[in-house]
Amino acid sequence: MKLAAIAKIFIIMVFVVFVSNSHTATVAAEEPALDHNWAFLLYGGTHAQNSISDIITFDADYAGDNHMVVTAVNWQAYNYQPYVSFELEGQLGRHFGDDVSHWEFVTLVLGRWHLFPWNDIIRTSFAFGSGLSSYTEISRLEQTEEDDAQRLLGYLAFELTFGLPQLPRWDLLLRIHHRSGMKGLIGEGSSNFLAAGLKYTF
């Protein structure tokens, strides 16, 4: 499954969700997203063969055939409206493609900034998170860059969300899903995935 196919599936998912929820827009607009402490996330991504900075500057290479699908539950532990929130998240992911198919378990803490000047038009947030990621098998993909790749590594997330004010429970998300040994502090090996999906707050 190439990047273009993933993008088409994502666009279809977005259309279905927005159409199916359009009749609840008026009610939802009365329920600010920050008043709900839980969220469910579903996203998929493809492997980027470069660094995080290359992804951000649109210079990454996505030529390989390695992908992932992730479900996650997020709990907002504290918020200082309308500025920041702090969240705990648990993830279950499945990797497939040229790499050995395996599962991934992630726990992390995120800090999120909510206040942007265009929020009346498009609600936007930016989050950064750090935690631990564990694979059920050693990744052949990571072994191509580090012979001593390990199952347990550090985890970083960089995330942008976008939503309509009329549908405050729903957001589109873009996330960089990063594993690394934190320069040998935890272990060896690294990988980056650029992902997109949906977030439902409840």
**162-187 pLDDT tens trace:** 999 999 999 999 999 999 987 767 77
Q: Give the domain range for residue 41.
A: 3-201
Tally Cβ neighbours within 10 Å of residue 169.
17
Instruction: Give the whole-angstrom CA distance, residue 83 versus residue 73.
Output: 22
98 secondary structure, DSSP code: S
Q: In this model, does residue 18 exceed pLDDT 50?
A: no
Model-level pTM?
0.79
Q: What is the DSSP string of 120-137?
A: TTSEEEEEEEEEEEEESS
Number of domains in the chain: 1
- State the CATH number of the domain containing residue 16: 2.40.160.20
Measured in whole angstroms, the distance separating CA 201 from the mean position of its chain's CA atoms is 15
Confidence of residue 4 (pLDDT cuts 50, 70, 90): low
Q: In this model, does residue 23 exceed pLDDT 70?
A: no
Amino acid symbol at 134: S
What does pLDDT average to over the chain? Answer: 84
The residue to which tokens 């970083």 are assigned: 156
Structure tokens at 74: 């997020």
Q: 172 and 160 in contact (C-beta within 8 Å)? A: no
Q: In this model, does residue 13 exceed pLDDT 60?
A: no
